[in-house]
Amino acid sequence: MIGAVGSHSRRAWLVAVVLVLGLGCAGPQLAQQAPASDLSASDLLNAVLWMQRSVEYKANALTAFALARIRLDQALEDRSWTAAPKEQTGAYQSLPPAIVLDIDESILDNSGYQAWMTLKGTSFDPKTWNAYVNTVTSLPIPGALEFAKYADSKGVKVFYVSNRTADEEPATRKNLEKFGFPMGGSVDTMLMTRKQPDWGSAKGTRRAYIAKSYRILINVGDNFGDFVDEFRGTEAERLKVMEEHKARWGREWIMIANPSYGSFESAPYRHDFKLSEADKRKLKRGVLDAWPGP
């Protein structure tokens, strides 16, 4: 009887060892087989959580638009003030005033789409983005509507310079009108990408279009490309351009925080969107300045 129990115990022990070894071997394989899209999408979690749930995000946005209002008042008193130093030429001092607002993550919150990508483990796709835009459910960024209305009350024309497509303009207009954003009256203030042949993703041509008829006082955006056309450079090149315009930040250029997406995340892989998600993520991790550990 004792011998039988001992033999049974030994067999049980061997089975346990085999199971442990098997699991130990399976673990790395499972990790290696995890879809790259899942890993990429998970990077959005804290960013979207911050945008949707934190008081810090709301306070940050309210701070930016409170500053924008102060700067707008100053700009109205200073005839030489312009937020378009490259595009504003000639005797612009006598032109009527205008402001330029980016839309996505600058005045409209699309974190619902980002949250969907996070939970589905997927990435941006023009088809799903277009479907989201057509739901007309984006909400105003805290402080954005109040600032736009304040500018309008001061006789300042509000232009929307967005990289949403011309096909997405009707739904975008409906979304803005739903909350009471000023729409320009007889002036077309919706400047979407490709609405004219030379209106690409770089926004300089659209700022130049506005600057022919208006003095641009304030520019509000969430991405480097909302302010300069040199946003596709390397990290070092982008930093150099940013510092060249150091005096403009918080004066005529107001940046809204967006940790979810933008040219900041594609700079580490040199904006090569043909790379796999795994390669993009590897290059982004590679530029982090990490503490070596204890």
User: pLDDT, tens digit, for every residue of 20-49?
Assistant: 334 344 433 333 333 444 444 468 999 999
Average pLDDT, the chain: 88
For residue 221, report the phi and psi dihedrals to the nearest 5 degrees: -155, 175
Nearest CA to 145 out of 220, 88, 235 is that of 220
How many Cα atoms occupy the beta-carbon half-sphere of 182 within 13 Å?
Answer: 23
Q: How many residues does the chain have?
A: 294
Mean pLDDT computed over 244-265:
96
Radius of gyration of the chain (CA): 25
For the record, the structure tokens of 66 come out as 């409170």
User: pLDDT, tens digit, for every residue of 67-103?
Assistant: 999 999 999 999 999 999 999 999 999 999 999 999 9
Q: Can you tell me the distance from the alpha carbon of 116 to that of 131, in angstroms, rounded to the nearest whole number? A: 12
What's the pLDDT score for residue 147?
A: 98
User: pLDDT, tens digit, for every residue of 111-131?
Assistant: 999 999 999 999 899 999 999
Please report the DSSP string for 127-165 in residue order: HHHHHHHTT--PEEPTTHHHHHHHHHHTT-EEEEEEEEE
User: pLDDT, tens digit, for every residue of 144-154?
Assistant: 999 999 999 99
Confidence check: pLDDT of 11 > 80: no
The 3 state secondary structure assigned to 20-48 is HHHHHHHHHHHHHHCCHHHHHHHCCHHHH
Domain regions of the chain by residue span: 34-260
Q: Can you tell me the distance from the alpha carbon of 39 to that of 30, in angstroms, rounded to the nearest whole number? A: 13
Centroid of chain to Cα 45 = 14
Q: Can you tell me the distance from the alpha carbon of 294 to that of 288, in angstroms, rounded to the nearest whole number? A: 18
The CATH T-level fold of domain 34-260 is Rossmann fold (3.40.50)
What's the pLDDT score for residue 15?
A: 41
What's the pLDDT score for residue 270?
A: 93
User: pLDDT, tens digit, for every residue of 183-212?
Assistant: 999 999 999 999 999 999 999 999 999 999
Q: Which residues pair with 210 in a beta bridge?
A: none
Please name the residue that has the structure tokens 């980002």: 114
pTM of structure? 0.84
What's the pLDDT score for residue 12?
A: 45
